[in-house]
């Protein structure tokens, strides 16, 4: 009975470790952080893409303006060609000015979005580290509890060897029926297995059992120990 009760306690402890509750709550926090990160990145991506495209366009226009300016400086073309080059250079410079203004707008927009993404990642880092710690602790504790259960099962086998076959068969039948220990004790007139009070008649009958004879609990069928 004691071995089976301890086995049941250890089995329950394996699935109800405080670290498991903390890990469950932490996983919820991490899922919320992941959603926030995905939302922040979804907001950032199009703005950053537009910013980078504007940067590339600005670089292209700068190169074009430099080339036109160099061509004009070294050109021996006629007045009409020079005027066309000058007109194009002016147009490119106007486009570049608008591109630079747009690039600045995107830069102003992208910075807080990048900061939001970085802040979420920074907040999640200690949670990720704690999750790893909890997972390792749970594995270690469960391995220790598993070792304890193995030792308890060995104790159970050794103890059952000292019980008569008939009594052991009755115990095992009760154990199979209730799923925990196959015996119980009477505490304050109650079976401490099913927690139901014995009637006065059953209580007197239990008290009157000869030594080595065990009656069954009328409710749960466990062997009632003296």
Name the burial class of residue 25, with classes exposed (0-12), middle (13-18) and buried (19+) by CB atoms within 10 angstroms of its CB: exposed
Is the pLDDT at 224 greater than 90? The verdict is: yes
* pLDDT, average across residues 193-197: 93
Identify the band that residue 79 occupies on the pLDDT scale cut at 50, 70 and 90: confident
What are the structural domains of the chain? 2-160 (1.10.287), 165-225 (no CATH)
Note the pLDDT of residue 82. 85
Note the pLDDT of residue 81. 85
Q: In what order do the strands lie in the sheet with 183-187?
A: 190-191, 183-187, 223-225
Contacts of residue 217, defined as CB under 8 A and 6 or more positions apart, other chains included, come to 184, 191, 193, 194, 196, 198, 223, 224
Identify the band that residue 212 occupies on the pLDDT scale cut at 50, 70 and 90: confident
Comparing 26-35, 41-50, 69-78, 141-150, the range with the smallest average pLDDT is 69-78
* pLDDT, average across residues 130-139: 97
* pLDDT, average across residues 52-56: 96
pLDDT tens figures, 84-112: 989 999 999 999 999 999 999 999 999 99
Q: Give the rounded percent of residues in the chain with a pLDDT score beyond 90.
A: 86
The DSSP line for 29-82 is: HHHHHHHHHHHHHHHHHHHHHHHHHHHHHHHHHHHHHHHHHHHHHH----HHHH
State the SS3 of 112-180.
Answer: HHHHHHHHHHHHHHHHHHHHHHHHHHHHHHHHHHHHHHHHHHHHHHHHHCCCCHHHHHHHHHHHHHHCC
Comparing 18-32, 42-56, 158-172, the range with the smallest average pLDDT is 158-172
The string over 64-87, giving b where at least 16 C-beta atoms fall within 10 Å of a residue's C-beta and e elsewhere, is: bbeebeeeeeeeeeeeeeeeebee
Note the pLDDT of residue 121. 96
The mean of the pLDDT values for the chain is 93
Q: Are the C-beta atoms of 191 and 198 separated by less than 8 Å? A: yes
């Amino acid at each position: 009975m004691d071995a089976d009760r301890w086995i049941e306690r250890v089995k329950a402890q394996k699935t109800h470790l405080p670290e498991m509750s903390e890990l469950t709550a932490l996983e919820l926090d991490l899922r919320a952080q992941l959603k926030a990160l995905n939302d922040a990145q979804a907001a950032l991506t199009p703005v950053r893409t537009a910013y980078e495209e504007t940067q590339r366009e600005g670089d292209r226009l700068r190169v074009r303006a430099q080339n036109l300016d160099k061509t004009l400086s070294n050109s021996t073309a006629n007045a009409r060609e020079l005027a066309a080059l000058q007109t194009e250079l002016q147009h490119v410079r106007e486009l570049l000015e608008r591109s630079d203004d747009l690039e600045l707008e995107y830069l102003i927009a992208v910075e807080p979005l990048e900061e939001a993404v970085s802040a979420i990642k920074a907040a999640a880092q200690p949670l990720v580290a704690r999750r790893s710690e909890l997972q390792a602790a749970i594995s270690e504790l469960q391995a220790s509890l598993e070792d304890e259960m193995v030792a308890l099962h060995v104790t159970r086998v050794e103890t059952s060897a000292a019980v008569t076959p008939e009594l052991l068969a009755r115990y095992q039948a009760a154990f199979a029926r209730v799923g925990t220990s196959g015996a119980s004790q009477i505490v304050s007139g109650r079976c401490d297995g099913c927690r139901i009070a014995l009637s006065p008649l059953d209580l007197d009958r239990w008290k009157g059992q000869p030594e080595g004879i065990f009656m069954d609990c009328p409710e749960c069928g466990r062997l009632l120990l003296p």
